[in-house]
Structures are given as structure tokens and as C-alpha cells.
Structure 1
Amino acid sequence: MSSLLTNTAATAPETEPTVEPTVEPTSTGPESTGILPPSHWAQVQHDDTDDGDSAFEDDNASSTASLSASILEYRVIHGRTYHSERGNAQSWNPNDALHDESMEILHHVSTLMQDGKLLLAPIRDDVQKVLDVATGVGMWAIDFADDYPGAEVIGVDISPQKPQWIPPNLRFEVEDVTLPWTYQPNSFDYIHLRWLTGCVEDWNGFYREIYKALKPGGYFEHKESTCLMVSDDGTVTENSALSQWGRVFTEAGRKLGRTFSVVEDGLQVKGMKEAGFEIVLEKDLKTPIGPWPEDENQKLIGQFSRLALDRDIEGYLNYIWTKVMGWSTEEIAVYAAHLRRELRSPNIHAYYAQKVVVARKPEKS
């Protein structure tokens, strides 16, 4: 549930992207991928008796705010805006205000899961130059620049960022970070990356660019999410909407050639080591979806992670499930209704995994 871009954009006439991914004939039978066909969800009968905790959304919706900037004209796909054609970029998340709200909540979830910390890397208080890759709505970069006023901070993304206010030591740039980098070698003390699954063709090559841009002794931190929503007690069943989410995204990543299985396949550690990094820290995290945990902090995390997803389920699905997997918008709407019912059920104890890897460029490199 992560992205290369998230930003408010102006509405443009509905257009199709000029470059489409190669879509193979879709095989959605359970015998091949475990994916149920889109028509399945229109036939499923549901029981509303366990739709619990719906009052939470009304109580917490007011805690989110969308950015009010309106910049440029982007592609419009089924009514949602996406980044303009640039380089080799193929981000699957919208960059409109509705999706921004979801990503802002996920930023809050991320800090809650790290005990209020923006980062886990052991950087110096006098860090000089920092790069936030795939900065999205820019909230991490803004918070970091605020906490480290002596640092020069750059947030880079495929979509321009125009928040109402930014610290004077922060600037945003527009680049396709999946292409060879134009940053000077050995120029950054710390590089931060979060949630780029499904957007990168060559992770090893991507990590090599990051390695080259870091100063010797500099730190790189990458937090990534899996698309698989599971449970430890069997309450997320194989044919549930929650389980199907991950199956469809995994297959879509295979078709696109941009994997959604970064965490499951251990690509972070493998790719960083191949690039020459020394691994400093590996931290595996479980992100609950819904307020089912007994622990109060985990319960709060679950409430906000569910709110982030529920805020814009259709936005997460729109590009990948229509353009790559061949679903119609009507089929997505029916599926999303089933997913929302499961998200509200107090009897389903779902979560998804995240992994943080902190690495260091050797002093002698």
C-alpha cells in the first residue's frame, strides 16, 4: 500500500496514458493464481450482523486534512488524476486530494509504529544533506526539515509537491528516480525511502544509484510494505476480499514487471548488499488493520491504518486493477463494498507486514 506519488493536482480532460503496460491474457481462476474472477463479488451474499465499530470513522475523519494546492494537469484515468508521462515512471497511485488524505494518515501510522520517530537510522544531529526519495505528499520531508533546521533537505517525486508551507531548508524536485540519477556522487549524508513497491523494475540497479549518491559513512533507510493482508488466527480466509487484495496485486506486479513482493522476497537486504551497503538494522513490523489488538497503541495504529485504506480503496485499485488486470470500475466498486464490510468486522484480525532496513555506505568506498 505504498506509492511513488501522492499530491493534489488539477482536473484535466479524461485521457488514456500514452504508454500502457503490456497486459497478458488474464488468468484469474483459482487453479492458477488463487484469484477469484471479478464476477464472483457480485454473487456473494454478505451478513451485516458483524459490521462493527462504524462510529469510529465519524470520530476520526475530522483528524485528517487534505492539501489545497492545485498544480499542473495530469492524466485522468476513470476520473482519477495520475502523474504526467515522464521518463520510465509507472506509478499506480493517484495524485489527487482524496488519495493525499489516505497517504497523510499512513504517514501518521508510520510514526506511531516507530514510537513517534521519523527514522531509525543513527544519523548525527548535525546531518548536512538529506534526500527523501518518493516523497509523496511531502509530510516526512517537512517533518524532518522541521526537526533538523541545519540540514539541507530535498524531497523528490515524479509529481510536483505544493504544500501550503514548507520549512526554509526544504525544497521539492521532480524526477523519475527509476532512471539513472543526476545527483552528484557522494553528496548525501542520509537518504530516506518509503513505500515504492510496484513501481521499480530493477531494485538492484535502483540501490546502486542510491549507494553512489551517498557519502562514505552515510546512511540509507528503506521502509517497505507487503500487499498481502493476512491473519494469525485464520480469520482472513482464502476467498475473502482481504486475501484477494494481495493475490491480485501480486499477479499485477508480475504482469507489469514491477514486483509487489519486495518484502516477501527479501529484496531490500539482497539488493543493498549487492550494491555494497553494510546492513545496520532490520526491523519487521506488523500493521494491524482495525482496532482488534488488545494493546492500546496497536489498537490506535489499527484504527488509523483502517481509516487510511477505507478513505480511498478505489484509488489504490483504479489503475492496477483496470489497466493491468482488466476489471471494470463497476466490478471494483462491488469488490470494494465487500472489502469495506470485512474491514469493519470486529471478528477479522487482519494485518500486513512492513520491513525497515537501515544500511551504511562503508567509509572506505
Structure 2
Amino acid sequence: MADIETQIAIDAAETDSAYNDDDVASDTTSLKSAVLDYKYRNGRRYHAYKEGSYWGPNDEAQADQLDICHHICLLLLDGELYLAPITNNPMRVLDLGTGTGIWAIDFADRFPATEVLGTDLSPTQPSLVPPNVRFEVDDFTESWLFRKESFDFIYARSLYGCVADWPTLYREALDHLQPGGYFEQLEMSVVPKSDDGTVTPDSIFDQWGKISLELGDKFGKSLRTVDESKSGLEAAGFINVVEHRWKLPVGGWPADQRFKEIGQYNRIHWEQGIEGWSLYLLTTVLNWSIEEVQVYLAKMRQGLRDRRVHAYQEVSVVYGQKPPRPRNTDNE
């Protein structure tokens, strides 16, 4: 994947018209029977544990979006689940906000001797999983109850809009890593951009970015995490902090075939996700009516299918290391 400063070449054949409606084939997994009294708003299902603390639905439609996101991340990282230089035999790994559990399951498959724990507000993970992975309902924004220094690797993805106090969360991660262990975070921007001016001021994409950032600010949980995680890890005391950034196209407009495939998946990802990303916050924070939300989303879907718009979002992967325990030099 090209560096963030590189402009993505545009496929000349992808110049006009709109995308046809197409069905997205996605593998679904059997979900656990609900153990919590889920809440329903405007036809979408939400978690009941810590109700209102997270804006995303936990229903099947959003699970499909999360699994598409996982596939996009694998394509973006050339099949890798992480970039941090972790040990070849991690003993315990924690996946914060595990969602459908797909990352934790894949990690457990690749490291069968590793104990993998995924936590989330909703128990919507599959029941048939590798024997070395388990899931718990937990709120990682509260004080952690795990034993200190008990994880070799802690992973987080797409936690934008989930955390009111990032410094405290990063300190908890630092405290619960073994000395020398790593924390890694992948985040996506909610602001579509373009290099050629096709995301114009006051376009629906421009509106989406501005409204999304406003929603996060008013909700008290930043949606700017893609730009904030590196400095957050450094301020918390992590060392050897490394950041990688990419442009993630929205749509099949790139000339490069790898970019084109990723962009096609990402357009589907957006079409699948935009209602869940915005419905709760628009109706509760900005007090929009459901009719206003649906008109807004219809404009977004039209924009997503406009081949003339060469939009992308930015993605960051940041990892940092807990300082190793100082060597005992008394006998040297």
C-alpha cells in the first residue's frame, strides 16, 4: 500500500455513471443466544449493558459490516493481523472491543498455544471458536480487573467514538502489558478526502465529515482518533512508537488493481455501515427525525456510487512498546 503522501492514480474507465446495486456475499456465523436484554431503536438492535455508551448497533447488519472491515484490513496489511514486532510465542493476548470476534479468532488460529481474550459490550461472538480463545462482556473504558502485567500483546481496532478518556485507557493498557509487550491500534478517518478536488466543499462527503466530527465532539468521544493515537501512546509512556498511514479508497476508481479491489470492498463497507454509524447519534445528539436521517443517508449512498468522485479515507496503524524491565546490574 502506498505511503500517505502518494496520490492514487485514477482508472480512466471509472469516470462516470453510478454503481449498480449489488448483493454483497458475506459469510455469517452462528451467534450466541442473547444473554442481555437488547434495546431497539428505529429498527436497529443495540447493547443493553452500559446502554448509550456506544453508538453502534450489535445486530446482524452491523456484524456483516464489521466482517467486511476485517477483510479490508487484511487486504490493506497484506494478510497480516498486526504489524507490531511481537514475540513469536505470545502467551496472553487481549482484543479490546472485539465485535464479532473475527480478529481474535484469526489470531487464535495462527497462534494455537496463545490464550486469546476478546472483550466487548455485547456477547455477539460465535460459540464455535478455537479452544484457545474466549470472549467476555466487559467495558474496557472502566478500571481493568485483570492482573497487572498479564498480557504480551493488546490489540484495538476502530475504537473511534468509543472512548471519552484516552489517556486513562492507554495507561491501563501500559499497566497490563508485560514489560517489553506491545499495544497496537488501527483507526480509520471518518472524513472523506480527495486529491483531485472531486470531494468538493459542501458536497455530501464534505457534509458527512463535518457532521461526524461534530457528533463525536458533542457525544464526548472523539472521532478524530486516527490523528490522535500516536501522540496518545507517546504521552502514556510507550516507547518505540511507530505509525503507518495509508489512503483507503472509497470505490473502484483507482487504476492500481490492488487499490481498486480494496476500494470496491470499502464502498460496500460504507454502504453497509453508514446507517449504523450515524443513526443513533443523529437522532439522540442532534435530535434529527428518522425521516431526516433517511434523506441524509440516501444522499450518501448516491455519493458513494458516483464514479466521478475519487474519495478516500485515511487509515493509521500505531504500535508502541512497554519499556522492558531494567536489568539488574548489582552483580556485574
* Residues 1:86 and 2:50 are matched in the alignment: yes
Q: Provide the rounded CA distance (Å) in 2 between the counterparts of 1:341 and 1:255.
A: 27
The letter for the 2-side match of 1:261 is R
* Residues 1:116 and 2:82 are matched in the alignment: no
4+ residue runs over 3 A deviation? none
Please report how far the alpha carbon of residue 66 of structure 1 lies from its aligned counterpart in structure 2 after TM superposition: 3.0
Q: Provide the rounded CA distance (Å) in 2 between the counterparts of 1:354 and 1:324.
A: 26
Identity %: 43
Task: Give the corresponding residue for 1:107.
Answer: 70
Unaligned runs of 5+ in 2: 1-14, 327-332
Please report how far the alpha carbon of residue 313 of structure 1 lies from its aligned counterpart in structure 2 after TM superposition: 2.3
* Residues 1:282 and 2:248 are matched in the alignment: no
Determine if contact 1:228/1:245 at 8 Å carries over to the other structure: yes
Determine if contact 1:289/1:350 at 8 Å carries over to the other structure: yes
Out of 22, 25, 34, the position equivalent to 1:71 is: 34
Q: Provide the rounded CA distance (Å) in 1 between the counterparts of 2:197 and 2:321.
A: 39
Correspondence 1:174-189 to 2 at 5 A: 174-189=137-152
Task: Give the corresponding residue for 2:271.
Answer: 310
- Partner of 2:225, secondary structure, is coil
Q: Provide the rounded CA distance (Å) in 1 between the counterparts of 2:273 and 2:183.
A: 30
Determine if contact 1:74/1:82 at 8 Å carries over to the other structure: yes
Determine if contact 1:198/1:258 at 8 Å carries over to the other structure: yes
Determine if contact 1:67/1:100 at 8 Å carries over to the other structure: no
Please report how far the alpha carbon of residue 164 of structure 1 lies from its aligned counterpart in structure 2 after TM superposition: 4.4
> How big is each residue's C-alpha offset from its partner over 1:158-185, in whole Å with a ceiling of 9 and x where there is no partner?
1113314210000001111001111110
Q: Provide the rounded CA distance (Å) in 2 between the counterparts of 1:312 and 1:202.
A: 25
| TM-score where L is the length of structure 1 | 0.82
Unaligned runs of 5+ in 1: 1-48
Equivalenced residues, count: 310
Please report how far the alpha carbon of residue 137 of structure 1 lies from its aligned counterpart in structure 2 after TM superposition: 0.8
Q: Provide the rounded CA distance (Å) in 1 between the counterparts of 2:85 and 2:49.
A: 37
* Residues 1:52 and 2:44 are matched in the alignment: no
- Partner of 2:259, secondary structure, is helix
- Partner of 2:226, secondary structure, is coil
| TM-score where L is the length of structure 2 | 0.90
Please report how far the alpha carbon of residue 102 of structure 1 lies from its aligned counterpart in structure 2 after TM superposition: 0.9
Please report how far the alpha carbon of residue 317 of structure 1 lies from its aligned counterpart in structure 2 after TM superposition: 1.4
Please report how far the alpha carbon of residue 50 of structure 1 lies from its aligned counterpart in structure 2 after TM superposition: 4.3
> How big is each residue's C-alpha offset from its partner over 1:68-108, in whole Å with a ceiling of 9 and x where there is no partner?
32413311111111111328x71111000011111110100
The letter for the 2-side match of 1:241 is I
The letter for the 1-side match of 2:242 is L
Please report how far the alpha carbon of residue 312 of structure 1 lies from its aligned counterpart in structure 2 after TM superposition: 3.6
CA RMSD of aligned residues (A): 1.6
Correspondence 1:260-271 to 2 at 5 A: 260-264=223-227, 267-271=228-232
Q: Provide the rounded CA distance (Å) in 1 between the counterparts of 2:248 and 2:240.
A: 23
The letter for the 2-side match of 1:245 is W
Out of 122, 143, 163, the position equivalent to 1:159 is: 122
